[in-house]
């Protein structure tokens, strides 16, 4: 029976695997966006690209009520 300690290859591989998993979770957390009532929201850049208008035009449309919007966490 092999003794497992902090220098064991099995332990080193385990912690390397955990580091990779945590890196992946961190990346997913940064890239993910919450859904609002089942709908995905767009940021200014995405909306302007999708509608093929400038970000300033989007702001004018929001100000005049042409398009609906919501503000999340002060953004």
Q: Which two tokens stand for residue 46?
A: 């995405």
Residue 70 pLDDT > 80 = yes
CA distances from 35 to 1, 2, 39 (A): 51, 49, 5
Instruction: Quickly count helices (H) and strands (E) in the chain.
Output: 3, 2
Tens digit of pLDDT for each residue in 35-67? 777 777 888 999 999 999 999 999 999 999 999
Answering whether pTM is above 0.85, one says no
Confidence of residue 10 (pLDDT cuts 50, 70, 90): confident
Residue 42 has a pLDDT of: 86
């Amino acid at each position: 029976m092999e003794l497992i300690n902090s220098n064991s290859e099995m332990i080193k591989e385990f912690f390397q695997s955990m580091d990779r998993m945590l890196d992946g979770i961190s990346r997913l957390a940064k890239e993910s966006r919450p859904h609002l009532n089942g709908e995905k929201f767009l940021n200014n850049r995405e909306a302007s690209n999708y509608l093929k208008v400038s970000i300033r035009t989007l702001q004018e449309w929001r100000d005049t009520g042409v398009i609906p919007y919501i503000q999340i966490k002060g953004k």
